[in-house]
Structure 1
Amino acid sequence: MGPLATLLLALISVCSFTHAAAVDSFSIASHRDYADSNNLPRKRQSGSVPSELGKTLYWFANFSVGDADSVRLLIDTGSTDLLMNEGVYKPSKNQKPYKGHKNFTITYEGVSRGGFGFETLNGTTMTDTVSAGGLTVKHQAMGSLTDYKYYNTPPKPYAMQGDGIIGFAGARSSSFTPGANSWFWNLCKNKAISQCKLGLLFGTSGKGQTVLGKRATHHLKNPLTTVPDLENTYIVRGDITLNNHIVLRSQYLILDSGTDNIQAPLPAAHRLFSLLNLHPHTASGANPVHPHHPVRELTAFFPCSRPPVLGFSFPPHAELKPGQKARVFNVLPEAWGVYPHGEDNCTSILGGTNALDGLLGRGTGAWLVGQSFFQGHYVEFDLEGGTIGFGDLVDPGMEGCA
């Protein structure tokens, strides 16, 4: 899921997760670190946490937050902060006031089950112990919600299902003042994990594994294809393919495990729907972040029995080195048929929006690549290497994950 004023990023390692959306600030910088390094494990290690895809199409995992155990949090690489729903958080003896503003406000885009819509959340900040997979940050910045409001969503929005959300991005995408690092970044900065790697292994069966601190090579069918991560913002460049042929070159792709669908800039979406012979439908609504810039969204329908073959090719053709070949990673067929309407009619998980226009600079459109792409693939975020790697899973379903 993604905050339009801050992007939430998240992940860990085990066998079961769920997901979220994107923000309007993607330049991640190293700001003040609120983790207490003296309370982190002295032995550098890796961690694993079970994850699974819920009916809302978000990936969830269990954490301990303060004195609340088995807290089910939405895993989001599109944002930074850990936010708990009202009434869920139980302070521990380690709770401390946040060294900054007591209150926060954040707006997310992509909060409905279909992947669009907005929500604005308000709450209070503090620090407390957060643990999962044997990894602990004693004074992790976090927030407890007090109220929220939805925009352009059906009567039953889905974004804050479970007990809350945990982001995995850096401080510049934080909604707190001053910005705080995510749980993952704190573990990395304090050298509590052997390698600053986050691997997402989301299966098409709804089971998955998130690996923190190492690469789970036994799940990899082939070596990773790596591309530069633009300033550690979880943004890469790649080509867009249909039926394994490039149709759009050098597109900016925001990798957001917290978004349900795949959102393209409106011109790109129009072109792809035209090439697929799909007839798009346009909707419009309010933009809570930029009120004078109404949001336009593009959707389409396709035969459920014949899903499109949409893919992402890395590295982009323009960046290939002599002798290097690109690899295409297609959205798997199982990820397409999640919005059926009967009579072989499904809503496309590919949509278009102008909500991200100008996010990466004037005139530059950006894609929001959600969990429907992650399914069946190995996606690794390497902070130290400054890369994001893509690979195929030995078992795309990850059905062996408990």
Structure 2
Amino acid sequence: MQLKLSFVAGLIATSALAVAAPVEQERGINIEISKRATLTKAGTSEIDWTKVDAHMSSLRAKYAKNFANYEKNTGKVHPQKRELPEHLAKRATGTVSLTDQQGGELWTGTMAYGTPAQSFPIDFDTGSSDTLVNPGAYTPSKSSTSKTNGDQFSTAYGDGTTAQGTIYTDTVHIAGLSAANTAIGVSNTQFIDSSEGSQGISGMALPQLAAFGSKYLPYFYSLKNAGAVSSGKFQFDLRTSGSTLFLGGTNSAKYSTTPIYQSLDSSQGFWQVPASVNGQSIESIVDTGTTIIVAPTSQAKQLFAKLGLPTFTQDGSTYAYYNCNSPPTITFKYGSYSKSLSAATTSFGTTNNGDCVLSIAGGDVGVNAWVTGDSWLQNTVAIFDTDNNRVGFANKA
């Protein structure tokens, strides 16, 4: 899921949201977002399997690196790590280059570093924790506030594609907010296709997953610690049109029910909470860096069997399909919050025979949890709370 963000600077006054239904936190920075790409062939609803296969390879690579970062930072093996079959493990160190992977997966917006500020488009991902840019996107020597002690970073994406370079700290600027001494990694080589509109990746997961190590906080934590935001919350509201990201609080004008929260174990680094799907208990990692919902294969097959759906295998992953006129009911439940996928989000495209393919795939990406992305997020307002280590959901207004 690749989306373009157009940042709108300025605080949202409390009075401007007074007419909204449930009031929880009303200060912050509102960011308009719009959808840019899908996993289907241009101009059709037919799935482009080259894009899908690249997407799955990207997830394997990302989670393999997340677990490596976690072990480096904590000295422990991540409790959700799952060993991949040998043929898939090789793909986690890569089969598809990052320039192919990134199309249609992340949120793209504008960020700036330095004094004077140097702006660049960048992808935002709640499934990783570092800010990395291509060479030339940010030039430390042009900033009077840039610093480095020579620390290096190395992180792998896809088949042999890596980002390696030097970690700097500088003043970050985003949507009118600023925080000094915020980490940014400048790669020695281009690791993301700038023709797609992005010059890097900026993670919004927890510090335990940082490739930079525990002494370099993700940018949102730097904003919070600097007092640049009034709350350690950020909110995603993804719609066909009028989508928004809200930094530093929640925007109650965007939801119609009181948010229901699930606590998470922040020591694990992911936005991971318990949930259920049609009564089947799961662990859910809420990840804006994935388009569909990816479950461990055995757990996905359990759901497919319960729904009575036929399946097929594509590049090692299992998919289910159905008559587009009779979509199955898929209901996610987080605590007392329950929501079914809309008819539009129950499928992410069609086969060449015109059948709808379920937006839940069985794919071993190295994690014993469901990676719940765009197909879920389009149905709800998602709130990420770094102050209280929890994830919340509410119905859209």
TM-score by length of 1: 0.68
**Residues 262, 119 of structure 1: CA spacing in aligned structure 2 closer, same or farther, 3 A cutoff?**
farther
Matched residue type, 1:313: K
User: Could you tell me how far apart the structure 2 residues matched to 1:18 and 1:126 are?
Assistant: 31
Selected match of 2:232 from 171, 189, 196? 196
2-structure distance, mates of 1:190, 1:58: 26
Counterpart Cα distance in 2 of 1:342 and 1:282: 15
Equivalent pairs counted in the alignment come to 314
Deviation at 1:159, TM superposition (A): 12
Equivalences for residues 305-344 of structure 1 within 5 A: 305-315=325-335, 326-344=336-354
Q: Which runs of 5+ in 2 are unaligned?
A: 2-27, 37-57, 75-101
> 1:238–1:255: structure 2 CA closer, same or farther, 3 Å change rule?
same
Q: Secondary structure at the match of 1:274?
A: helix
1:297-312 map, 5 Å: 297-312=317-332
d(CA) in 2 for partners of 1:278 and 1:371? 22
Instruction: Determine the structure 2 residue equivalent to 1:278.
Output: 309
- Tell me if the contact between 1:78 and 1:167 (Cα under 8 Å) persists in the aligned partners: yes
* 1:256 counterpart (276, 287, 311): 287
Distance in 1 (alpha carbons) for counterparts of 2:72 and 2:234: 18
- Measured on the aligned residues, the alpha-carbon RMSD in Å equals 3.5
Matched, 1:16 2:33: yes
1:129 pairs with 2:171 = yes
Shift of 1:343: 4.4
Residues 235 and 302 of structure 1: is their aligned pair in 2 closer, same or farther, counting only changes over 3 Å?
same
Q: Which among 232, 235, 238 is matched to residue 272 of structure 2?
A: 235
Deviations 1:139-171 (A, max 9, x none): 221122334789xxxxxx999862221111232
What is the identity, as a one-letter code, of the residue corresponding to 1:332?
A: S
State the secondary structure of the residue aligned to 1:300. Answer: strand
How has the CA–CA distance of structure 1 residues 265 and 337 changed in structure 2, closer, same or farther, with 3 Å as cutoff? closer
Asked if 1:392 is matched to 2:368, the reply is no
Are residues 59 and 177 of structure 1, via their aligned partners in 2, closer, same or farther at CA, if it must alter by over 3 Å?
A: closer
SS in 2 for 1:16: strand
Is residue 131 of structure 2 the alignment partner of residue 82 of structure 1?
yes
- Cα deviation 1:338-369 (Å, max 9, x = unaligned): 43345433433211222224xxxxxxx21111
Shift of 1:204: 3.1
Tell me if the contact between 1:18 and 1:75 (Cα under 8 Å) persists in the aligned partners.
no
Bigger helix fraction? 2
Q: Could you say if the C-alpha distance between residues 99 and 145 of structure 1 is closer, same or farther in structure 2, counting changes exceeding 3 Å?
A: same
Structure 2 CA distance for aligned equivalents of residues 304 and 135 of structure 1: 45
Contact 2:237 2:245 in 1 (8 A): yes
The change in CA–CA distance for 1:106 and 1:161 in structure 2 (over 3 A counts) is farther
1:138 & 1:276 partners in 2: Cα distance? 52
Give the Å deviation of 1:378: 1.0
SS for the counterpart of 1:14 is strand
Q: Does the alignment pair 1:220 with 2:255?
A: yes
Provide the rounded CA distance (Å) in 1 between the counterparts of 2:128 and 2:286. Answer: 11
In 2, Cα distance between equivalents of 1:120 and 1:368: 23
Query: Residue 276 of structure 2 aligns to which amino acid in structure 1?
Result: D
Q: 1:180 to 1:310 in 2, by over 3 A?
A: farther
- CA distance in 1: counterparts of 2:364 and 2:160, whole angstroms: 13
Which digits, 9 at most, give the CA deviation of each residue in 1:273-314, with x for residues without a partner?
222333333355xxxxxxxxxxx5323333344443323212
Normalising to structure 2: TM-score of the pair? Answer: 0.68
Residues 100 and 384 of structure 1, relative CA distance in 2, 3 Å threshold: farther
Rounded Cα–Cα distance in structure 2 between residues aligned with 1:306 and 1:57: 28
Please name the residue that 1:347 is paired with. Answer: 357
Quick one: which of 168, 187, 206 aligns to 2:223? 187
Q: Residue type matched to 1:253 in 2?
A: S
Tell whether the 8 Å contact from 1:170 to 1:180 is kept in structure 2 after alignment: no
SS in 2 for 1:187: helix
> Structure 1 280/301 Cα, relative in aligned 2: closer, same or farther at 3 Å?
same
Tell me the amino acid that sits aligned with residue 146 of structure 2. Answer: K
CA distance in 2, matches of 1:260, 1:118: 23
State the partner residue of 1:38.
none
For residues 314 and 80 of structure 1, what CA distance do their matches in structure 2 show? 24
Cα deviation, 1:350-397, whole Å, max 9, x if unaligned, reads: 11222224xxxxxxx211111221113111111222221100111xxx
Give the secondary structure class of the aligned counterpart of 2:349. coil
Q: Structure 1 regions of 5+ residues with no counterpart? A: 2-10, 32-53, 112-116, 151-156, 285-295, 316-325, 358-364, 395-402
Measured at CA, do residues 96 and 335 of structure 1 come closer, stay the same or move farther in structure 2, by a change above 3 Å? Answer: same
Contact 2:32 2:243 in 1 (8 A): yes
Instruction: Name whichever of 254-263 and 174-183 sits farther off.
Output: 174-183
| Identical residues among aligned pairs (%) | 24
- After superposition, give the CA deviation of every residue in 1:49-93 in whole Å (9 maximum; x if it has no partner): xxxxx9724322222234675522212111111111343223342
Matched, 1:61 2:109: yes
One-letter amino acid matched to 2:168: M
Offset at residue 336 of structure 1 (A): 4.0
Query: What corresponds to 2:379 in structure 1?
Result: 376
Structure 1 distance, partners of 2:156, 2:328, is: 32
Asked if 2 retains the 8 angstrom alpha-carbon contact of 1:18 and 1:74, the reply is no
For residue 146 of structure 2, the aligned residue among 96, 107, 128 is 96
